[in-house]
Structure 1
Amino acid sequence: MQIWLEVVVRTLVSIAVLFLLTKLLGKRQISQLSLFEYITGITIGDLAAYISVNHQEQWYIGVTALVVWVLVSLGIEFLQIKSKKARNVIDNSSTVLIKGGKILEDNLKKEKLTNEELLEQLRKKNIFKAAEVEFAVIEPSGEINVLLKKEYQPITPSHLGIKVAPEPETQAVILDGKIMDEPLSTIGLNRAWLHTELEKLGVTVENVFVGQVDGTGQLYVDLYDDKISVPEPQEKAALLANLKKCEADLEMYALSTEEAEPKQLYTNCSEQLQQIIKDVKPLLAR
């Protein structure tokens, strides 16, 4: 067999073997890899290249080394699952870098981090004052996670005692100018509804690069032609405006009449509508 053809065959074999073995190792992002997993990934890549181009050696030697590395990696992962001590030795444990707004210099030295590097990581999380941080922890993967002090945390509905409904999943109903029937049926809609909404926007299916329907049934589209701007759907804003207008009319009627019974009726209706507006505003104001 000619050398170039042998290299092609070896490369295809190494790709197939590498694919199967990496499937065994599971999915992890680069930032989630431990030190040993990072080294294993580099070594496996080198071994795959060795199998591909080193035609002077038997191909099974490289495959054997590849399999051994993967088996060792799987064994270590199994050991980490079963033993916390093994996890601490192999991956180390998390280290607190900031506690109560105070930077722990000894822990910084232990993790070989400078104060400039710590402040840089905080700025990446939009935190510019270390004193605002309740806890900052560096994980075994090297990522720094931060918890702000309560007074600096963004206000959420839970802070205000407001219960909100879960946000339904947004569905992609048009991709590359083609209608996706399964996502449409998942949210209880059909093609007739979709065509009606597209007519309101003045576009056709063929011109839509991506079309999405949010949890409230609102259609948003991105066109192939970036120079054409599609107006944002205004149904929710119009409904909120109409509710406010009705509430204002009821309040005006209550003020304009002198009779006690109608005045009380308009006042009660106005207050009830105010409560309704308060309840639905988070959904309609987005």
Structure 2
Amino acid sequence: MNATADVAVIGGTGFYSFLDDPEQVSVETPYGLPSATISVGTVAGRRVAFLPRHGDHHDYPPHAIPYRANLWALRSLGVRQVLAPCAVGGLREEVAPGDIVVPDQLVDRTYRRIPSYVESGAVHLPYADPYCERLGAAVAGADPEIKAGGAMVVIEGPRFSTRAESQHYAAQGWSLINMTGHPEAPLAREMQQCYTAIALVTDMDAGVEAGQGVGQEEVFALFKANLERLKGVLTRTIESLPDPDGCTCSTWAEGMELSYGIPTPDGAGEQGEEAGA
């Protein structure tokens, strides 16, 4: 495997390609195969990897996505910064369909997923701020209409929320609802990668207004209608990405002995070594 990349884009619902004339890279991981073959190409002078979160043909529902394999595979190519577009519902009036939001908080309401690479030992991830502040600022700076801040609650899926659940989430002050943001974000942090969600609001959730509630068709349709705009935001963000060196996303484990391996493009890992050593 010779392909390497510094940056990754994980494509969400309806977002299955991003790069022109990419190299296709198959990666096997200790956690199984990733969602799809990884595409590697160049955007704005940077080597970029693209991975469709749900697979090439939406093969994986939210609760069955191979999250651990995905982040490990990207790290094995050298990826240190991850941009993660996703479709979300709106929970409060401060957001509306068509908005792009860079959340700064995450609430986990999933229950069937493996959220960590840690399977033994004492390795506790500091996670008060789940997204990379520097990466989020770069996304927000790519388009003056992007909204920054807010909490995204991640539910198990694949069903949408009941009206009562939706109203409860909104009452907590959370503004976005999604099915894939966890455990993707903490796994990226454990892989010492900078990570930010880029949330496209496709609908208002069931508790926000009267009617039949959220439907799959409207979610897919609005995401598709905004896909080229989202790709433009990603390209401009990649042009202005900050240097990840020194970011707390990569330095949090300095001095710790990790009980899992962090892969490198040459095939070596850091298992059993002091992180950062």
TM-score (norm 2): 0.19
Q: Which has the higher contact order (CA 8 A, sep 6+)?
A: 2
**Higher helix fraction (1 or 2):** 1
Q: Return the index of the structure with the highest Cα Rg.
A: 1
Greater share of residues in strand: 2
Instruction: Give the TM-score, by structure 1 length.
Output: 0.19
